[in-house]
Amino acid sequence: MSTSIRKLSVLAGLLVMTTGAFSQDDAIGKFFGKYIDDSRFTMVSVSPKMFRLLSKVSWDTIPAELKQTVTMLRSLRILSTETTPRQFYKEALSRIDMKEYEELITVRDKQDNVRFVIKEAGGIVQELLMIAVDESGFTLMSFTGEIDLDKLARLSSSLDIKGMEGLQHAKRKPK
Amino acid sequence: MKAKQERITVLLEKYWQAETTVEEEKELAEYFRGPGVPPEWESYRELFSFFEEKAQIKPSPELEGRIMESIRPRHHMVWWAAAAAIVLMLGLEPLFRHAPERVHVEQPGLVMTDTYDDPEQALAAVQKALFTVSKKMNKGLHPIK
């Protein structure tokens, strides 16, 4: 009797643990949680609940590729500060557990320092974290969900063109 | 007498190899119970009479009952375990039902508070963020451009 109860409680424990694993935080929550309510930081978050609500928005003006990318996302959080950005950048690099995250891209030039790290499981990128610093500040940006890196990389070019078209139209209109 | 002893020697040999039949063992026991066992086999006589003695012991009639009694609680155990499993599942059921909510929103230690109430604004922010990330990624992927 006691052994079966013990077995059952182990089972129950496992169940709770697995549901707990699903509810893991993004990198911001895990490594920068204490700064979320820090007045030096600005926090922008779009929760999974809001992501579900996005489907109710009119998508007519949104390019198909962008739509596909957005619908695969689960959450977005941006934590940024203008206070001692370089220091926070260093802190971020030391805090992020590189056993869990994999380095993707590092950009270093005169203006900025950007690192992309990803969390992958089963060949699917589940989180993309951008750690960036420049003169104006330090930014951590975390996307969770199912992230298609190729699609994401292509976005800027398609958006650039769209943006340019928009600009041209805007210029033409007043004439 | 000599022949008998020779036969017993053979049987004993078989006995220690555990190859004797029930009949042969009976024969051995009878022999050692009887008279004329040579002094060097005296110790065997005790041994076989001991086995004989023990063989007389019959299980008491309650034994079966006692065995059944000690087995029965295991059946109880199965039912208890099944009952406990059902109770446990019922207890955990709400957890499963609300699983998606918990998973996405009730993140331990930090409930994700939305910055925007308006999905339109949220979408605009997501677009902007994606654009920023994409641009920076391209900078890393195609530094020459």
Contact A155 B134 (CB under 8 A): yes
Structure tokens at A74: 């689960």
pLDDT in tens, A6-44: 666 665 555 554 443 333 478 888 888 888 888 999 999
How is chain B split into domains, by residue range? 2-56
- For residue A146, pLDDT beyond 90: yes
pLDDT at site A21: 37
Distance from C-alpha of A75 to C-alpha of A45, rounded to nearest angstrom: 8
Structure tokens at A132: 């960036």
As a three-state string, the secondary structure of chain B is CHHHHHHHHHHHHHHHCCCCCHHHHHHHHHHHHCCCCCHHHHHHHHHHHHHHHHHHCCCCCHHHHHHHHHHHHHHHHHHHHHHHHHHHHHHHHHHHHCHHHHHHCCCCCCCCCCCCCCHHHHHHHHHHHHHHHHHHHHHHHCCCC
Residue of A nearest to B98 (CA): A19
pLDDT at site B29: 85
Contact B133 A12 (CB under 8 A): no
Distance from C-alpha of A87 to C-alpha of A113, rounded to nearest angstrom: 13
Whole-number percent of chain A with pLDDT over 70: 76
Query: pTM (2 decimals)?
Result: 0.55
pLDDT at site B35: 82
pLDDT at site A46: 93
pLDDT at site A65: 84
Within 8 A of A114 by CB-CB distance, chain B residues are 136, 139-140
pLDDT at site A23: 38
pLDDT at site B42: 81
| Residues of chain B scoring pLDDT < 70 | 1, 72-75, 95-111, 142-145
Paired sense of beta strands A124-134 and A102-108, if any: unpaired
pLDDT at site B74: 62
pLDDT at site B106: 43
- For residue A3, pLDDT beyond 90: no
pLDDT at site A72: 92
Contact B129 A45 (CB under 8 A): no
Structure tokens at A95: 């805090």
pLDDT at site A37: 85
The amino acid sitting at A119 is K
Nearest CA to CA, how far is B49 from chain A (Å)?
Answer: 45
Q: Is A130 in the B-facing interface, judged by CB distances under 8 Å?
A: yes
Distance from C-alpha of A21 to C-alpha of A2, rounded to nearest angstrom: 28
Contact A46 B126 (CB under 8 A): yes
* DSSP E strand stretches across A47-164: 73-81, 102-108, 113-121, 124-134, 137-147
pLDDT at site B126: 92
Residue of A nearest to B138 (CA): A153
Contact A19 B103 (CB under 8 A): yes
- For residue A133, pLDDT beyond 60: yes
Chain mean pLDDT for chain A: 80
Q: So what's the ipTM on this one?
A: 0.75
> Phi first, then psi: what are they for A74, rounded to 5°?
-115, -40
pLDDT in tens, A84-93: 999 999 999 9
pLDDT at site B122: 92
Within 8 A of A154 by CB-CB distance, chain B residues are 134
